[in-house]
Chain A
Amino acid sequence: MNVFRLAGDMTHLLSIIILLLKIRATKSCTGISLKTQELYVIVFLTRYLDLFTKYISFYNTTMKLVFLGTSISIVWYMRYHKVVKQTYNKDQDTFRHYFLAIPCFLLALLIHHEFTVIEVLWTFSIYLEAVAILPQLVLLQRSRNIDNLTGNYVFLLGAYRALYLVNWVYRYFTENHLVRWIPWLSGLVQTTLYADFFYYYIKSWKNNEKLQLPA
């Protein structure tokens, strides 16, 4: 494992820790899209089916279990915790799941590496992860007030896939020049979706202003 991959994983993990911290410490999930969080549960459930079929490393298994556990607990807090659920911006979080999930599933049926259940579901999870942030970005745009923890959460979540892109370039040149179009292109799309957010995040940070996205 190279340093970019590790940095990417740690950024991803940190983003989730920040989100859980926000929810647990402030007992609030304002500004967080439940739609996006539910899509991440689907992403992890469909991607990590190989937990049962293939052992890669202790690190790999542990991280997979952590991502599954934390994403499920975030959704649990937002849906069922008696205080947290009242802070959920339901009226603004209107993006439809199936607008994203169904096209991704059809695309995975058409474009995949191998036509097996595990491989198609893995491919579906890669496509879905690329666009799963959209409900969150829409919600942020509608929010007049983005708190720091939410802003940092989304920034780290975007930075994670950007670091994976660097990792893939590094692996291409240091390993056997293997081409992996499905994750590469999806990861590129995923990172591009954050471009606008990154711009305003960095601008607000430089000017020491509160983060706000133009409507």
Chain B
Amino acid sequence: LQQDSVKDEL
């Protein structure tokens, strides 16, 4: 499973 580290939320 891929884990996402993108923080485009608040």
> Which residues of A come within 8 Å of B, CB atoms?
5, 9, 12, 50, 54, 56-57, 60, 63-64, 67, 113-114, 119, 122, 164, 176-181, 183
Q: Which residue of A lies closest to B7 (CB)?
A: A50
> Which residues of B come within 8 Å of A, CB atoms?
1-10
Dominant SS at the A interface? helix
Q: How many A-B residue pairs have CB under 8 A?
A: 33
Q: Are A12 and B10 in contact (CB under 8 A)?
A: yes
A180–B2 CA distance with the chains assembled, in angstroms: 8
Q: Are B9 and A179 in contact (CB under 8 A)?
A: no
> 28 A-B pairs, CB-CB below 8 angstroms?
A5-B9, A9-B10, A12-B10, A50-B7, A54-B7, A56-B7, A56-B8, A57-B8, A60-B8, A60-B10, A63-B10, A64-B10, A67-B10, A113-B3, A113-B5, A122-B7, A164-B9, A176-B2, A177-B2, A178-B2, A178-B3, A178-B4, A178-B6, A179-B1, A179-B2, A179-B3, A179-B4, A180-B4
Q: Are B5 and A119 in contact (CB under 8 A)?
A: yes
Report the minimal beta-carbon distance from A125 to chain B, rounded to whole angstroms: 11
Report the minimal beta-carbon distance from B3 to chain A, rounded to whole angstroms: 6
